[in-house]
Chains A and B, each alone.
Chain A
Amino acid sequence: MIKKENSVGLVVEQVYQENKPFILKSGDELPGFKLVYETYGKLNTEKSNAVLICHALSGHHHAAGAHSEDDKKPGWWDSCIGPNKPIDTNKFFVVSLNNLGGCHGSTGPIDINPETGEPYGSKFPAVSVEDWVSSQVMLTDHLGIKKYAAVIGGSLGGMQALQWAIDYPNRLSNAIVIAAAPKLSAQNIAFNEIARHAIESDPEFHSGNYISSKTKPTQGLMIARMIGHVTYLSDDGMGTKFGRELQNHIEGEESEFQIQSYLHHQGEVFSQNFDANTYILMTKALDYFDPSEKFDNDLTKTLAPALCNFLVISFTSDWRFPVDRSREIVKALVAANKNVSAAEIESTHGHDSFLLPIARYFNTLSAFMNRTFQELNES
């Protein structure tokens, strides 16, 4: 059961169906697509109080509230979205979707390719952050929202918020970019490649056509998640949480460290609930995200078209997208004469910090969102 206090309560998934062909950045075409999404709070009559949440690598549309009374867990960002929470649903109308290529209801590799009658599998076209943003714009049009009060995202979600600011400057007043980077480093790509290789070398992968073969590369996906998970935590954070403690040690049996069973558990749960092709697709979208590529690798030039205010948040123990990566974004925004504020939050929880209710982090978000609401009412 989920705590009702400060919760958006029971929420219902909605579907946006687009029937026109959608041309992707790669040049490939989808004959149409569907996006599942949820909304929390009320859209005001001027339709000016909407906020878009962009999800990270393994996220989805279910960000807050519960689907049924007996749900064990609320949405993935329930601590942050709800009445009197940093993204206050008494003030804002929150839109949260599952990105194209996902495996939680939006069109993705597990869907049937209408041309072949078989699941897309690994034949699902490559999707980029730009494609996600342009499909999000179509959903936004469908909802009748001309301009978001804020587009907010952590990690890969923060990259989408940046892309919004660059590609659709007139359609958002604020971008909140959390624990992100202007592009991936070689080390970031290396970790993603190990994850993909683990999946692809699982004998059950069948070149990505495992659904047709009625199987799943569970082992590969599990390893991929375990690697990912290690990069989301910090050495200190892991040390504090697990140390060298042994798990359920029974005399005479081989012992296991707590961190081992934790990683196994995380990997198992993930491998049962996530699609391997989606994981490959999303990590590739991350790897190829580089908005400055078209602008002579000059981030200042890249961000020049933006009109919104920016809030850039990073976490001290994040080594996946360290504070320095956020500083690169801030430096470019200052050089481009954009309105930007930045906070570097002290935390021992590594990259995962962006999902946690850290007091200073939430105070920072609340202050910025309260100001956003105030400006909304002044205009």
Chain B
Amino acid sequence: MRADLELIADLVPPNSRLLDLGCGDGELLAHLKESKEVKGYGLDVDPNNIEKCLLKGVNVIEHDLDRGLASFSSDSFQIVVMTETLQSVKEPDQLLSEMLRIGEECIVSFPNFGNWRCRLQLGRGGMPVSKHLPNNWFDTPNIHLCTCADFERLCNDLKIVILEKKYVNSEHEQNALIQIAPNLLSAYAFYRLGRIQDV
């Protein structure tokens, strides 16, 4: 399985009811169904992904995240997951709040725009293009890139509690060095989030 999905799978408790926003080809859902008996539903907009999910026997619902999550009732899932999708939605702040309305907890990962490579390229005067952010500024789906520090500030503003976080390199590996200055050194960040009243 993809290394980033492995990191997320570790954060999911067995037998939970889970919603995966931007589920792609359904790899995470198929893995969780098999290994942890998770009852999962994926949302995606790409017809090819929907077919791949159907072939895997994974529940997939065609749904554009920019339409919001009003069709899902409050507290209807234990976990709501969003892997590397936050940066490409229209209203990430509202989506985050919605995720914690319908789920008790959520797991979010995104590419860290504060990574030193990005800073270096910006310092040279150009928008960063790298392994973890491969698009040019004009063709990128990533319209809301942020740094780990930005994200943590937003969580604070939205009264979202960070229950667990993992900072990793571009190979999705955790090492001691990254933890010294994660906002500068991590390529991706993973967060498990909860509501403030639950703590």
Size of A's binding interface in residues, CB under 8 A: 22
**Contact, CB under 8 Å: B76 / A360:** no
**In the docked arrangement, what's the CA distance between A341 and B26, Å?**
12
**Contact, CB under 8 Å: A337 / B54:** no
A133 within 8 Å of B by Cβ? Answer: no
A265 within 8 Å of B by Cβ? Answer: no
**Contact, CB under 8 Å: B59 / A340:** yes
A375 within 8 Å of B by Cβ? Answer: yes
CB distance from A301 to the nearest CB of B (A): 14
A331 within 8 Å of B by Cβ? Answer: yes
Chain B residues near A306: list those with CB within 8 A. Answer: none
**Contact, CB under 8 Å: A371 / B73:** no
Chain B residues near A343: list those with CB within 8 A. Answer: 47, 50, 62
**A327-B71, A331-B71, A334-B41 are contacts. A341–B55 as well, Cβ < 8 Å?**
no
**A334-B41, A335-B73, A337-B39 are contacts. A363–B61 as well, Cβ < 8 Å?**
no
A194 within 8 Å of B by Cβ? Answer: no
CB distance from B27 to the nearest CB of A (A): 15
**A327-B71, A334-B41, A360-B47 are contacts. A371–B62 as well, Cβ < 8 Å?**
no
B57 within 8 Å of A by Cβ? Answer: yes
B17 within 8 Å of A by Cβ? Answer: yes
B51 within 8 Å of A by Cβ? Answer: yes
CB distance from B120 to the nearest CB of A (A): 42
Chain B residues near A76: list those with CB within 8 A. Answer: none
Q: In the complex, what residue of chain B is closest to A340 when comparing beta carbons?
A: B59
Contact flags B149-192 to A (C-beta < 8 A → 1, else 0): 00000000000000000000000000000000000000000000
B60 within 8 Å of A by Cβ? Answer: yes
Cβ < 8 Å to A, chain B residues 112-130: none
Q: In the complex, what residue of chain A is closest to B71 when comparing beta carbons?
A: A331
Cβ < 8 Å to B, chain A residues 337-351: 337, 339-344
CB distance from A165 to the nearest CB of B (A): 15
Chain B residues near A140: list those with CB within 8 A. Answer: none
**Contact, CB under 8 Å: A363 / B71:** no
Q: A363: which of B51, B59, B72 is its contact (CB, 8 Å)?
A: B51
**Contact, CB under 8 Å: A342 / B72:** no
Chain B residues near A344: list those with CB within 8 A. Answer: 62
**Contact, CB under 8 Å: B17 / A371:** no
Contact flags A309-347 to B (C-beta < 8 A → 1, else 0): 001000000000000000100110011010111111000
| A interface residues, Cβ below 8 angstroms from B | 311, 327, 330-331, 334-335, 337, 339-344, 360, 363-364, 367-368, 370-371, 374-375
7 contacts across the A-B interface (CB closer than 8 A): A311-B54, A334-B41, A340-B59, A344-B62, A364-B51, A367-B52, A371-B55
